[in-house]
Structure 1
Amino acid sequence: GGAGWWTAVGLACGLGLLAKYAMFYWLLSALGYVLLARTERRHLRPLLAAAGIALLVYSPNFWWNWQNGFVSYVHVRDNAGMSEPLFHLTAFLEFFGSQFAVFGPLFFAGLVIAAASPRALAEPPTRLLASFALPVLAMMLAVSFLSRAQPNWAAPAFVSATILVVAWALSHGWRKLIIFSMALHLVVVALLFTGRETLAAIGIELPAKYDALGRLRGWRALGSIVSGELAANPGLTLFTDDREMLAALVYYVRPHPFDAVKWKLKSGLAKDQWDLTNDLSKHFGENFLLVAEHQLISEMQPSFAAIDPLHSIVIPLGPGASRAYRLYIAHDFRGYQWDRP
């Protein structure tokens, strides 16, 4: 394409990087394809120019990270567990197996077979698609072996992999297999979202450990209880010891407690959005409704005039599972103990 298209590529990549660092996969895959495919090397200079535009668009984020201890990169590193002991064969096998669920059993099996067959990737279009799928998948497999990787981290690979696998299957006359695979995906999605309720309607209780949506359940009930406590204790600010719980409560509590705060485990770099935008240190002298999930009260007590227990909450999630919380009123925040002179 002309300069206009390459400029658009650079802008799109830059915006993608601002949204998600995984956009780097696309740049690396494109660069690898252009370098390895001799007939495509004519695109190297405009691709590098587009990459320069992308980095320019991304540069404010880099500058902000520079000024804040590269907190975003530290968060990515911590998620990947790169600071922990390396080499985990079990984690690698679990991640590899999970891709049959993420991409679909037939599609992922087809991708593995196609990747192992030189003839399947002989044509330029298939090599192009493979260049944007296989390197990303290989990187995530390597990460899963070195530390850990979540099943969805390889999802960017499956954009081009879907086209690649479908084209490969059609070239073998397996149209019905594609239709069957898509139908299977739709059935699985329907079961994920309605399976528990469908079984309950016929008198069968699905054990919580088999509930794929178990992590999403119970938050509305907890939010309702916390809403009542905040209404009964006006003047208190919502306060939790867990960022995921706080994110859920900000959504489910009514009215939405956008001023909610979270306990920071130790001084130093901010670890999440709450530490960046509404640090507890900004609320000196205030009182809070504490929803506690972890055993951190002894650590918190020196930072408050008093922490009075209210009651416990147990949220059932289905047969064999529940979440337990403890409510407190935390009086007169005096600042983090480790921040005092």
Structure 2
Amino acid sequence: MSSAETRPTSHMAQPWLLVLLLILLTVYRLWVIPRLGVTLYIDEAQYWTWAQSLDWGYFSKPPVIGWLIAASTALFGDGLLAVKLPALILYPATSWLLYRIGTRLFDARVGFRTGLAFCLIPLVSALGLAVSTDAPLMFFWALGMLALIRALETDYMRDWLLLGAAVGLGIMSKYTMAAFGLSAGFYLLSNIRLRRIFVHPGLWAAIALACLIVLPNILWNWAHDFPTLRHTADITHVDGLNDKSGNLGEFLLAQAGSLGPGFALAFLGGLLLAWRKRRDGRYQFLLAFSVPLLAIVIIQASRSEANGNWAAPALLAALLLATKFLARLRNQNWWLIALGLNLVLMFGAYHLGDFYRVSGKTQTARMDPLKRAKGWDTLAAAIRPYLAAHPDAVMLTEDRTMMAHMLYQFRDIEPDHAAWTPGPHPADHYQLTSPLDDSLHSRPFILISRDDNQALLERFASATKLARISVEIEPGLRREASVWLLSGFRGYSR
């Protein structure tokens, strides 16, 4: 993929400088997170519970995120930063991989600028505060891109095996990684010289290794009636694409917002540049690893619904294209302007609460982008005395949000717990792993419910309401729950 199209490397484009900036940014985020007044988001709390029982798969996702949290909490405890640590490490690591990719495709300046820009785009500024499956997904996607470039250039078997490991572990992080194979296929087919690779033993060794890594998750799904695949089909509405109106405009705005205004516009310029240079293998590579996944999710968004992060891996190649486009402009300040806009957005989001405090104003829930992660510790503190008064009771909840948050908040006492599971198939992780069933009919229960579900209460011989708890977290945000003492479970059928 080499080409004569390079420029002299700036003294600022040094790898040690990028590493230093990434370390400083990570330390800053480690400092700022405890100042935000947040607990865990629902998905983070759920992933923490996965880490307490390691497996080859879970209801809604493959297992890597649970493994990572298990490793970080084993080393540093179960505190807020320890749970979030995998993301705080993996995003800077992905920045380094982008530096390597950009340097290999173009030069050190493009690599440096792309690596630094990645850790400051709004998508990473937001996701960098929370641990999610997108962190390992984007890391392994970038590692796969680098491994493919190296394998095609060197033909060393170790690079082909690295490619297979990256794809396999990426799929074990999030099934979106399967689109990597589509992108790689597009790239190899678009370059006549590379089509012979389809019969190359290195490629098939990579495919075999990826399949071997993913096999345990397939077997886990088989043994549990494919809950992860069913959940994925449900959220993508593959059985009824026309049942819901699309959210194409919202999705496209989310992509622009994920890159930031400057880099989003530069990506459009990068697409035009890549089209003009479409015979150049480097641009073919970046088009193949950005456009197909974006196109798939755009079609999904136009026909049904798509979350803004579903095409997140495509933004890696998109950012490389954007940075290369900006590097070709005579006025080099445009890259700094794009980067500066994202810095302003990051500092504004991280210090919005500080602004309200300094100005003497009260922040309301309406103006709080972090409200979903606030107040669960306060609610749990109010519920704790009722669990302590009934130590032999099983904690019962109706939904995964309450279960995940309460299990994390009560991690010191590790209560027995059960999930209300009235349907024929489990609807979440807790209904799959700890359903309320007839084996518990002799146990008392402490029900923690946001709504008093009469259909649920009627399935017990005795139901006593112990409290209705309502705590104000900030103006416009309250956490509420009813606490019931139940006994004599009668089963689900009437």
Q: Is TM > 0.5 for Structure 1 vs Structure 2?
A: yes
Give the structure 2 partner of residue 248 of structure 1: 405
How many Å apart are 1:92 and its aligned residue? 1.0
Per-residue CA distance 1:240-281 (angstroms, 9 max, x = gap): 11102221222223525363322124122x232212322222
Kindly report which structure 2 residues correspond to 1:36-47, keeping only aligned pairs within 5 A, or say none: 36-45=190-199, 46-47=202-203
How many Å apart are 1:127 and its aligned residue? 1.9
Kindly report which structure 2 residues correspond to 1:283-298, keeping only aligned pairs within 5 A, or say none: 283-294=440-451, 297-298=453-454
Give the structure 2 partner of residue 324 of structure 1: 480
Give the structure 2 partner of residue 221 of structure 1: 378
Q: Contact conserved, 1:115 with 1:121, CA < 8 A, in 2?
A: no
Structure possessing the higher relative contact order (Cα contacts under 8 Å, 6 or more residues apart): 2
Aligned mates of 1:103, 1:315 — CA distance in 2 = 37
Q: Contact conserved, 1:285 with 1:334, CA < 8 A, in 2?
A: no
Q: Contact conserved, 1:310 with 1:329, CA < 8 A, in 2?
A: yes
- Runs of at least 5 residues in structure 2 that lack an aligned partner in the other structure: 1-154
Q: Which moved more, 1:52-61 or 1:29-38?
A: 52-61
Q: Contact conserved, 1:92 with 1:141, CA < 8 A, in 2?
A: yes
Kindly report which structure 2 residues correspond to 1:185-334, keeping only aligned pairs within 5 A, or say none: 185-253=342-410, 255-257=412-414, 259-268=416-425, 270-281=426-437, 282-294=439-451, 297-334=453-490
Residue 28 (str. 1) matches residue 144 (str. 2)? no
CA pair 188-51 structure 1, distance change in 2 beyond 3 A? same
Aligned mates of 2:393, 2:354 — CA distance in 1 = 37
Give the structure 2 partner of residue 2 of structure 1: 156
User: Match of 1:51, as an amino acid?
Assistant: I
Match of 2:488, SS state, is: strand
Kindly report which structure 2 residues correspond to 1:71-90, keeping only aligned pairs within 5 A, or say none: 71-84=227-240, 86=242
Per-residue CA distance 1:37-56 (angstroms, 9 max, x = gap): 21221322343442232123
Give the structure 1 partner of residue 262 of structure 2: 106
Aligned mates of 1:330, 1:112 — CA distance in 2 = 59
Kindly report which structure 2 residues correspond to 1:91-130, keeping only aligned pairs within 5 A, or say none: 91-116=247-272, 118-119=275-276, 121=278, 123-130=280-287
Q: Contact conserved, 2:246 with 2:303, CA < 8 A, in 1?
A: no
Aligned mates of 2:450, 2:237 — CA distance in 1 = 23
Q: Percent of counterpart pairs with the same letter?
A: 27
CA RMSD of aligned residues (A): 2.4
Aligned mates of 1:108, 1:315 — CA distance in 2 = 41
Aligned mates of 2:330, 2:475 — CA distance in 1 = 46
Aligned mates of 1:174, 1:65 — CA distance in 2 = 54
Instruction: Give the TM-score normalised by structure 2.
Output: 0.63
Aligned mates of 2:243, 2:388 — CA distance in 1 = 50
User: Match of 1:74, as an amino acid?
Assistant: R
Per-residue CA distance 1:58-100 (angstroms, 9 max, x = gap): 1222122223222111111122233445276651111111122
Aligned mates of 2:329, 2:392 — CA distance in 1 = 68
CA pair 319-302 structure 1, distance change in 2 beyond 3 A? closer
Residue 140 (str. 1) matches residue 294 (str. 2)? no
Q: Contact conserved, 1:311 with 1:326, CA < 8 A, in 2?
A: yes
How many Å apart are 1:121 and its aligned residue? 4.8
Q: Contact conserved, 1:241 with 1:294, CA < 8 A, in 2?
A: no
CA pair 122-260 structure 1, distance change in 2 beyond 3 A? farther
User: Match of 2:170, as an amino acid?
Assistant: G
